[in-house]
Amino acid sequence: MVNLPTIRFGREGLRLFALGIGTTWFGRHWPPDNPSYKLPTDEEIEVYLDRIFTTVKHQDAFLMIDTAASYGYSEEKIGSYFKNRQELFKKAFIATKWGEEFNIDTGMTPLDHSREHLIQSFKRSLEHLKRIDLLYIHRTSIEVLSDLEVIEELKKIRECNRGSVRYIGVSISNEDILQKAVQKNLLNWPDVLQIPASIFLKRPDLMDTICDRGINIVLNSPVRRGGSGSPEEIYSEILQHKGRFVLLTGTRRHLEDTIGYFCSAK
Ligand SMILES: NC(=O)c1ccc[n+]([C@@H]2O[C@H](COP(=O)([O-])OP(=O)(O)OC[C@H]3O[C@@H](n4cnc5c(N)ncnc54)[C@H](OP(=O)(O)O)[C@@H]3O)[C@@H](O)[C@H]2O)c1
C-alpha cells in the first residue's frame, strides 16, 4: 500500500493529493510532438482512472483532475467516466479552464477571453462535467487580467457557487506575463495559479510573493517542460519543494513510476 503525499489547499484547507491528474491526452493529440499519438478508448481511460483511485482509496483526500474546454474530448470523457461512479466523483476535485478553444479539424487553438465567451464556455463545461470545483482563465494575458467585466463575472460565479465552483484561478505559461501580473498587482483575486514546473523552479522569488498572497500553486508539464534529466531526476528536483503545490502529471504509460517518485520523495 502506498501513501501519496497530501497538501492543504484553499481557504478551507481542503486536503488534496499532491499529485494531480492531467488529461490533455484523454481528448486530443498530445504531447504535440508525439507522431504515434492515438486517441484513447473509453476503456483505456477507465482503466487509468480506476487505477489511480484504487491506489489512493485508503487515504482521505481529494484527487485533482485537470482538464480544459480546449482539451478536445477530455471534459466529455471525464464526465462519462464519473457518470456511474458517484462515490469516486465525491473524491475528485475537478478543475477546468476557459478562454482557449480547440478546433478538432484544424488543430488550431484560438483564444476568446470575452465575458460572453466565459459564460458560454462555463455552461458547456458544466454540461460535460456536472460539477466544477475550480475554474481557471486559460492562456491568461495582461489584457484579460485588466478586464474588470470578466474578473467580476468570475468572482460572481465563485460567490454564487455556480456549478459548485468554489475556487477561481489563472493559468499562465509565460514567465514575462506572470512577472508583469505580479508587478501590476493584477493577481489580487485568484485562489489558484497554474504554471509550468519550469517557472516554479526558475523563479523562487515570484513563488514566494505568490504564496505570501495566499494563492495556491498548481504545476503542469513536469517532464515536458521541467528541465533536463530523466523523469526521476526532474521529479526529485521539483519534489524537494513538496508541500507547496499540486503537481499535475500528463503521463499515459508511466503512472506507477510517477506515483513512486512522490512516495519516495524526501
Ligand atoms: N494550463 C496549461 O496551459 C497547461 C499546459 C500544459 C499542461 N497542462 C496540464 O498539465 C497536464 C500535464 O502536462 P504534460 O502532459 O505536459 O505533462 P508531463 O507529465 O510533463 O508529460 C509529458 C510527457 O512526458 C512523459 N512522461 C511523464 N511522466 C513520465 C514518467 N514518469 N516517466 C517517463 N515519461 C514520462 C509522458 O510520456 P508517457 O505518456 O509515455 O508516459 C508524457 O507524454 C496536462 O495533461 C494538462 O492537464 C496545462
Residue whose CA lies nearest to ligand 1 atom number 36: 251
**pLDDT tens sequence across 98-119:** 999 999 899 999 999 999 999 9
How far away, in angstroms, is 148 Cα from ligand 1 center? 33
Cα separation, 164 vs 143, whole angstroms = 27
Helix (H, G, I), strand (E, B) or coil at 21: strand
pLDDT above 70 covers a percentage of the chain that reads 100
CA distance 144 to 206: 20
In 3D space, the residue among 264, 265, 258 whose CA is nearest the CA of residue 19 turns out to be 258
pLDDT for 15 equals 97
Say how far apart CA 183 and CA 206 lie, in whole Å: 10
Q: Quote the pLDDT of residue 230.
A: 95
Nearest CA to ligand 1 atom 48: 220
Integer Cα distance of 256 and 266 in angstroms: 18
- Asked if residue 226 has pLDDT above 90, the reply is no
Domains and CATH numbers, the chain: 6-264 (3.20.20.100)
Q: Is the pTM of this model over 0.85?
A: yes
Distance 251 CA to ligand 1 centre (A): 5
Q: Are 67 and 98 spatial neighbours (Cβ–Cβ below 8 Å)?
A: no
CA–CA separation, 266 vs 259, rounded Å? 14
| Cell triple for 30 | 498530445
**Residue 37, number of CB atoms within 10 A of its CB:** 14
